[in-house]
Structure 1
Amino acid sequence: MASSHSSPSSSQFSTHITEPPPPPPPPPTQPNRSETVPLPIEHQPDSGFSRFLHRKRQSHISLQDWEQNVTPPYHNYIHQLVAAGWTNLQDLDNYMTTAATREGLVVSVLDISDSKRKQWPDIYSELDLRNFMNHTSRKGAKVRFYMAEYQGTPSPALIETLGSSLNLDPRFFQWIIHSRGHNFTPSQRHNAPYQALGFGVLRDSTPSMTDAEKFKVLVYIQPDNTGTGWTGIVLFSSCTKHNISTRILQPPPSFQSPRPASTTLKPKSIRELYLESFEYLDLTQTAASPFYATSNLFRINCFCWNQIITAIREQDRLINGISDTSVGHVEEIKRSLAIVQRGGSFVWAGKDEKATKESKEALQEDFQHLVEQTDLLWQTRSKLAEMRQSRSEARWTALTNAFTYLFAPITIISGIYGMNVSEISGSDTNPNIWQFFVAVLVLNLLMVAALSIYNFIQIHMKHGRAAGMKEILCFAVGRTTLNRPEAGQ
């Protein structure tokens, strides 16, 4: 199977490492991210490749470094597509010309057959991944998983390695780099062999109890040419570790059953949790159904979102209000539910398998419940926000009224003493003060009469009845409750 994944230009890579390498240093006691992890002995290639693979490198090596200005075949393929009219891949073409690297790259490889699974040593560079894919066969394994973990977006070297070795759809990588030119119609997205799953995980390193890290996990299912197996590519855009145990995915043993062995809870990334979850899967069903193989990834996703929603609800209850939190949770959860309802992708095989149907039904119920709880939470928060706004407005109104009551007498007194009337000015040429009050009274009577006539006409036009004197006068002075007709009218 490894030969079917070989790049057409693999011979170009071998021509650049013909010079004898320096003697290898003593092997390290523990692998780290700057050193290469050796392959199992039975899968090591020729001695020249083995010496190159075990050579210690001081810095990150990209494909551009070891191709020596030779255009990588997958990048050249993308460039030719852009020139042929697929301009939506222009951003990916530009991205592939950069020499960007990503810290924290870890690639786990897992082979699965009907009866056993085999996890290879982790790989920490794109060059070692290229060598592994070109020289290591699956030896009867029906399924091979490549699980790459990095921070942010994948490096161009990782895209080149996976794309050229597995012949992947370039739109998949266009999606990964968050390009503005990435546009999918619903039919294209639902029938694509790859799906994007939005993750949200609570941050333990921030003071806020509801602060969450959001990232994407993308799954690509590539059927083999023989039709007897498939290759899975799972890309994790975060390598942050979290205190979560995979045992939460399974119900605890009964009281009378033997107790499981104690384990120490260590912070693990989502990639490591997903790798551990294969312990609970039926390997035969895993080889037959991609959705069943990725079902535990959906379960971890549902659990993490449930943690966030619960933390927000508890924090709101603690402060008896609305806590600070990020937005967009509902949209991501509903997208995950839609992917579960489709069974991953419409083109994934194994949809008729019993285990697949059971996993799909269970996940649908879990995500549907989570969506309902999330909607209820945000409705409650919206009502609390309205109540808080109403209380704030009431406080401002009370404060305004207090100032009005304070300054109203001052306004009246200053208005009276500012009038040019004979009683205050002492001049007989000015009008008397009683004339002012008569004018105010007459003006008020005219306003009440005008409002009463308006109310009488409105009631007659809307309700077809004559309004009573009491009802008209009440409206004129500001009381409108008497304007409403009784139930029997």
Structure 2
Amino acid sequence: MASTTPQLPTSPTSSGEDNFTTQSNGHHPGHHPGHPRHAETFDGFENRVDTGFKSLKRFAHRSRKSTHTSLQDWAVREGPYQRYVRELVAAGWSNLQDLQDYLGGSAGQHNETVSVLDIRTDKKHHYPDIKTNFELKNFMDTNQRPADTVRLYMAEYDRLPSAELIETFGSGLQLDPRFFQWAIHSKGHVFTPSQRHRAPYVTLGCGILDAVTPSTTDVEKFKVLVYIRRDEKSAETGWTGLFLFSSRTKINMSIQLLLDPPPFPASIPPVRPEFKSFRQLYIESFEFVDPSCAVKSPFYVVSNLLRLDCFCWNQVVTAIREQDVKVGGISDTTIGHAEEITKTLSIVERGGSLSWHGTNEQVAKEKQDALIEDLKHLVDQTKLMWEIRDKMNSIRKQNSDARWTALTNAFTYLFAPVTIISGVYGMNVSEISGSSSNPNIWQFFVAVAIFNVCVVLALSISTWIRILNKHGRKAHFWEVLGYSMGKVGSK
């Protein structure tokens, strides 16, 4: 049986010049069958190396293409609200640049909790709390608000909202991006006063006593942002409210403090004290809200939040005043407290925002009048606190000056003998110089005594005349002499 020589495998991507060409009998041209085929083996190895390099090049090319595709996919995943903000910045609204940068930053949860409350004229419904942005987006997509219903979203987070939360609320509720510019604490100029007063949203500066620090007057400050949105300006009922709470701190407080206690015969069920956040306390206040009034007036809904804020600031101011009395001075700098309270008062006087509807409702006017009275009293208490501090500071300065004066007098008395002795021995008197032509030492003491008597007489006459002109009476001898000799209180 004639044996055949097996052919070397060839790469499918190699050109015809790289392939080995064989004869029909299986031998290469010019190759003797009896010699070993070293050249063919080397050529096959070289061909495999070339093929490997080409495969690596193709793999690198495919990797570069896949990376480019992933970047394109990432660009496609840009949210519609983020794209809207980016287009606004490109169109000239440069005051939204901070918000654009924030939305383009790293994603992540900020310990966020969202509560949803629906209010109709006859009932209220509180949905289970939402913990993730995915749940929030799914809820907003599947649960549309009825036309005659008020829906309130109350989001709570640590200091700053996540970009996903802004994207979800901004695109789902079609909100003004300047509202979120406030939420991220942007330092850029956002509004003019006229724009801010007519925008459908407000920001409240809140403060609570910080129980974590050892000082009893330390305050944790945070913001509460409120956005009121109506689908149609002509609609009297049915609107959406968004509340953003930038603190999750729990405080030991009951919402019952905002209410008048029941009369004596009434039975009062016990309430177990529990630490709750500002958002949770505000949600509890809806137990005492009239639903029929809530659907007509956003300010009526926000009034309990304003009362809660006023009560907490009242606790802060009271604690600071008590501590001032205890330490006998200024216990805390309280920078910005009065400013935040004054801003809240101006918000209440405007009825929240000039664009909010229902501010002329009777129940809303009653709430507004009560809040104005409480906040004005709080502003007066803050001013009184600073007036007392100014007086205490003046007294402390006088006491400090008196201590320095006493210290200076002590040094004067200490060095007075030395000064007198050195002055006496430095005089050219006959008792010291030995020359009879110089004056005697007794003449110096006589001159000093006569000069002192003249000064005391001049001061006494001046004091007597001043008391006569000022008080219309003649001053007593010891009164005039005492003042002339340095007793200031005698005048």
2:252 equivalent to 1:243: yes
Q: Match for residue 209 of structure 1?
A: 216
* Cα 1:238/1:481, change in 2 over 3 Å: farther
Equivalent in 231, 248, 254 of residue 224 of structure 1: 231
Structure 1, 108-117 or 153-162: larger mean CA deviation:
153-162
Deviation at 1:268, TM superposition (A): 0.3
Secondary structure class of the residue paired with 2:295: helix
Deviation at 1:418, TM superposition (A): 4.6
Structure 1, 268-277 or 80-89: larger mean CA deviation:
80-89
Q: Which segments of 5 or more consecutive residues in structure 2 lack a partner in the other structure? A: 1-70, 473-491
Question: Is the CA contact (8 Å cut-off) linking 1:152 and 1:237 kept in structure 2?
Answer: yes
Secondary structure class of the residue paired with 1:71: coil
Q: Give the whole-Å Cα distance in 1 for the aligned partners of 2:329 and 2:230.
A: 51
Secondary structure class of the residue paired with 1:196: strand
Equivalent in 186, 189, 196 of residue 193 of structure 2: 186
Secondary structure class of the residue paired with 2:251: coil
* Cα 1:135/1:397, change in 2 over 3 Å: same
Q: Give the whole-Å Cα distance in 2 for the aligned partners of 1:255 and 1:116.
A: 30
Question: Is the CA contact (8 Å cut-off) linking 2:178 and 2:190 kept in structure 1?
Answer: no
Question: Is the CA contact (8 Å cut-off) linking 1:423 and 1:433 kept in structure 2?
Answer: yes
Deviation at 1:111, TM superposition (A): 1.0
Equivalent in 406, 415, 422 of residue 407 of structure 1: 415
2:243 equivalent to 1:234: yes
Q: Match for residue 41 of structure 1?
A: none
Equivalent in 375, 385, 401 of residue 393 of structure 1: 401
Query: Over residues 280-309 of structure 1, what are the superposed CA-to-partner deviations in whole Å (9 max), with x where a residue is unaligned?
Result: 000011011000011100110111011111
Secondary structure class of the residue paired with 1:306: helix
**1:84-163 map, 5 Å:** 84-99=91-106, 101=108, 103-139=110-146, 142-163=149-170
Q: Give the whole-Å Cα distance in 1 for the aligned partners of 2:437 and 2:204.
A: 85
Count the aligned residue pairs.
397
Q: Give the whole-Å Cα distance in 2 for the aligned partners of 1:276 and 1:341.
A: 25
Q: Which segments of 5 or more consecutive residues in structure 1 lack a partner in the other structure? A: 1-64, 449-469
Q: Give the whole-Å Cα distance in 2 for the aligned partners of 1:268 and 1:176.
A: 22
2:298 equivalent to 1:290: yes
Q: Give the whole-Å Cα distance in 2 for the aligned partners of 1:422 and 1:104.
A: 96
Amino acid at match of 1:298: L
Amino acid at match of 2:118: D
Secondary structure class of the residue paired with 2:402: helix
Amino acid at match of 1:239: R
Question: Is the CA contact (8 Å cut-off) linking 1:175 and 1:182 kept in structure 2?
Answer: no
Equivalent in 279, 293, 318 of residue 287 of structure 2: 279
**1:156-175 map, 5 Å:** 156-175=163-182
* Cα 1:140/1:89, change in 2 over 3 Å: closer
Q: Which has the larger radius of gyration?
A: 2
Q: Give the whole-Å Cα distance in 2 for the aligned partners of 1:430 and 1:264.
A: 103
How large is the RMSD of aligned CA atoms in angstroms? Answer: 3.1
2:276 equivalent to 1:268: yes
Q: Match for residue 459 of structure 2?
A: 474
Query: Over residues 189-242 of structure 1, what are the superposed CA-to-partner deviations in whole Å (9 max), with x where a residue is unaligned?
Result: 111101111111011222211111111111000112483411101001111000
Deviation at 1:394, TM superposition (A): 1.2
Equivalent in 319, 325, 333 of residue 311 of structure 1: 319
Secondary structure class of the residue paired with 1:288: coil
Secondary structure class of the residue paired with 2:270: coil
Q: Match for residue 34 of structure 1?
A: none
Q: Give the whole-Å Cα distance in 2 for the aligned partners of 1:107 and 1:369.
A: 34
* Cα 1:421/1:291, change in 2 over 3 Å: same
Q: Give the whole-Å Cα distance in 1 for the aligned partners of 2:404 and 2:312.
A: 41
Equivalent in 346, 365, 371 of residue 357 of structure 1: 365
Deviation at 1:484, TM superposition (A): 9.3
* Cα 1:264/1:435, change in 2 over 3 Å: same
2:66 equivalent to 1:83: no
Q: Give the whole-Å Cα distance in 1 for the aligned partners of 2:183 and 2:110.
A: 17
Secondary structure class of the residue paired with 1:294: helix
